[in-house]
Amino acid sequence: MSEYQKRYDAFVRLIEDYLTACMDRLVRESSPYAQPLTEAMRYSLLSGGKRLRPVLLLASHAAFKEEVTPALPFAAGVEMIHCYSLIHDDLPCMDDDALRRGQPTNHMVYGEAMALLAGDALLNLAFEEMSASGHEHALKAIAAVAGRSGSRGMIAGQTADIALSHQRPEKDKARYIHQHKTADLISAAVQAGLILAGAPEARLKAGERYARHLGVAFQIVDDLLDLRGDVKLLGKDTHKDQALGKITWPALVGEAQSQKDAATEIALAKQAAEEVEGPAGFLSELALNTLNRVQ
């Protein structure tokens, strides 16, 4: 196993342990009356997944401060935000998905009402964790996350993704959706990691470019995987984009060009990563690995 993969897995273990402890504490502190809620939250939050965003947060932090424990409440926070957005995205009134990470989606198991509340509760829990951390840079990190996960960021992207469905596909629209729906929360993770580690302003800016290019590449790759229909690799229903009339990059420029565009974005991400962490670091490796999924 590569050094990169060992490090990735070590980050994931830290995150899984933290999330598990967090949910255990919540269940312990909750009345039996709230049990349907905590069960639904646990089901989606502890269902595995790549944990990309919290890994990015810890890795960005580690580029300046190796001891990442103080950043864990924030790593958990961005993963909770990602998780809530998936639960709500999967609801019948949104993308109406039955499968996620190879398992039935939250509302298929717990019903729509509980899935809705579990999503709300995970978004809220993210801010509970971050604000209760007592970290000296907590407020700045929370502001960086909140600004990118809300109506100027990720939710604006989800809105465009829905509002522009079945409309004439244009590159400008696709870029807006990718930028906000996917890249903004990736950027939130990188910014929070750097802020918590006390990284200088110039590095924050390079981190912003890194996250933007990585996020856009990541979404193009996701669109390609949906198109190719690999249910097993994606762990969710495929060929959904077309059925939902979603604007995707492959639909705009074709499959071959999409792969080239993803490679270009990754090259730019790698460049920015070097400004953050120096040459041949973890963030560069992570960018290259994103591309490997479709090669």
Scanning the chain, the segments in alpha helix (DSSP H) are 3-29, 35-45, 52-62, 72-90, 106-110, 112-132, 138-149, 154-163, 171-177, 184-196, 201-228, 231-234, 240-243, 249-253, 255-277, 282-292
Closest approach, Cβ 8 to a second copy, in A, equals: 29
Q: Which is nearer to a second copy, 151 or 242 (CB)?
A: 151
Tell me how far apart the terminal alpha carbons of the chain are, to the nearest angstrom: 19
Closest approach, Cβ 174 to a second copy, in A, equals: 11
Closest approach, Cβ 6 to a second copy, in A, equals: 34
Q: Which is nearer to a second copy, 9 or 24 (CB)?
A: 24
229: left (phi over 0), alpha (psi -120 to 50) or beta: left
Closest approach, Cβ 199 to a second copy, in A, equals: 19
Per-residue DSSP letters for 105-122? -HHHHH-HHHHHHHHHHH
Closest approach, Cβ 62 to a second copy, in A, equals: 24
61 and 193 in contact (C-beta within 8 Å)? yes
Instruction: By CB under 8 A, name the binding residues for a second copy.
Output: 26, 29-31, 33-38, 41, 84-85, 88, 91, 93-94, 111-114, 116-117, 119-121, 123-125, 127-128, 131-132, 134, 138-139, 142-143, 146-147, 149-152, 155-156, 158-160, 162-164, 173, 176-177
Q: Which is nearer to a second copy, 166 or 260 (CB)?
A: 166
d(CA 152, CA 238): 28
83 and 76 in contact (C-beta within 8 Å)? no
Q: Which is nearer to a second copy, 161 or 237 (CB)?
A: 161
Q: Which is nearer to a second copy, 34 or 225 (CB)?
A: 34
Q: Tokens 């490997």 label which residue?
A: 292
> What residues form DSSP beta bridges with 25?
none
262 and 291 in contact (C-beta within 8 Å)? yes
Q: Which is nearer to a second copy, 107 or 209 (CB)?
A: 107
Closest approach, Cβ 231 to a second copy, in A, equals: 25
138 and 221 in contact (C-beta within 8 Å)? no
Q: Which is nearer to a second copy, 138 or 196 (CB)?
A: 138
Closest approach, Cβ 94 to a second copy, in A, equals: 5
Count of alpha carbons within 13 angstroms of residue 3, beta-carbon side: 5
Q: Tokens 């897995």 label which residue?
A: 9
Closest approach, Cβ 187 to a second copy, in A, equals: 15
Query: Which residues have CB under 8 Å from 233's CB, separation 6+?
Result: 225, 293
Q: Which is nearer to a second copy, 12 or 164 (CB)?
A: 164
